[in-house]
């Protein structure tokens, strides 16, 4: 458990506040099952074109880096060819479970349509919801740091099966601040929040993320949830009920 008092709680989402199964069995299939119709029917929408441009730029960077299996996107080709390349690129990235910003941004954009139409609803562990409310009442500041885009984070909390929880979250961070396995990312977040590292409690299901946060001086707790990947030997405190984390 938390070894000392903390002022800020920094939460992961997948496998921490939200079941991994929701992300992999609901959110990702929503994109794969709808992306072709979504892209083709909204092709002339400036927002969609902005996402296509970002995907093309990411593809160019991947090719330059020699990324295995990357699908190129040539925006000078005819519309049908570009659409095919975009869809193949998205399929390749999702199959590889990539965490790049261009893909995450498009996923978040599509999910917004699903949430607003009532086709999607964010799933939260009840104790995580209760804990977020508890921390808020106790004056603790709650932030989110997830590999999913800020947009996707807000949708899960804003359209959750426990109602709109956005009011309890002061801020959101995604991989634009840095990779979650790099200590420098946590240093940047703490600096942005304006607190000392040892006054921040980071909760995640990933040992590598906890190791990075620990290196940056944060307090850490390993989230233990049904469906989470097995972890080897470690020295981190654990929790499967966040309401039991001492204030």
**For position 2, what pLDDT does the model report?**
59
- Pick 148 or 70 by higher pLDDT: 70
Model pTM score? 0.89
**For position 3, what pLDDT does the model report?**
59
Among 179, 205, 44, 169, smallest CA distance to 101 is for 179
pLDDT in tens, 58-107: 999 999 999 999 999 999 999 999 999 999 999 999 999 998 889 999 99
Name residues whose C-beta falls within 8 Å of residue 151's C-beta, 6 or more positions apart in sequence: 105, 108, 109, 111, 112
Q: How many CB atoms lie within 10 A of CB 160?
A: 20
Mean pLDDT of 174-196: 96
Q: Is residue 1 pLDDT above 90, yes or no?
A: no
């Amino acid at each position: 458990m938390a070894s000392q008092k903390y002022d800020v709680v920094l939460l992961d989402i997948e496998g921490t506040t939200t079941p991994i199964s929701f992300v992999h069995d609901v959110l990702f299939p929503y994109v794969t099952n709808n992306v072709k119709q979504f892209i083709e029917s909204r092709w002339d929408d400036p927002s969609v074109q902005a996402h296509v441009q970002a995907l093309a730029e990411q593809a160019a960077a991947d090719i330059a880096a020699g990324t295995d299996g990357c699908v190129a996107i040539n925006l000078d080709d005819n519309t049908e060819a570009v659409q095919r390349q975009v869809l193949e690129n998205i399929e390749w990235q999702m199959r590889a479970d990539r965490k790049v910003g261009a893909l995450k941004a498009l996923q978040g954009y599509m999910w917004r349509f699903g949430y607003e139409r009532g086709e999607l609803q964010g799933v939260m562990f009840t104790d995580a919801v209760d804990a977020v409310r508890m921390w808020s009442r106790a004056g603790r500041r709650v932030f989110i740091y997830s590999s999913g885009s800020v947009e996707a984070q807000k949708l899960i909390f804003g359209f959750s099966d426990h109602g709109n929880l956005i009011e309890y979250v002061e801020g959101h961070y995604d991989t634009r601040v840095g990779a979650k396995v790099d200590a420098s990312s946590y240093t940047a977040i703490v600096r942005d929040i304006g607190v000392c590292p040892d006054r921040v409690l980071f909760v995640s299901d990933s040992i590598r993320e906890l190791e990075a946060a620990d290196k940056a001086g944060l307090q850490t707790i390993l989230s233990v949830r049904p469906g989470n990947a097995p972890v080897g030997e470690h020295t981190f405190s654990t929790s499967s009920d966040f309401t039991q984390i001492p204030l």
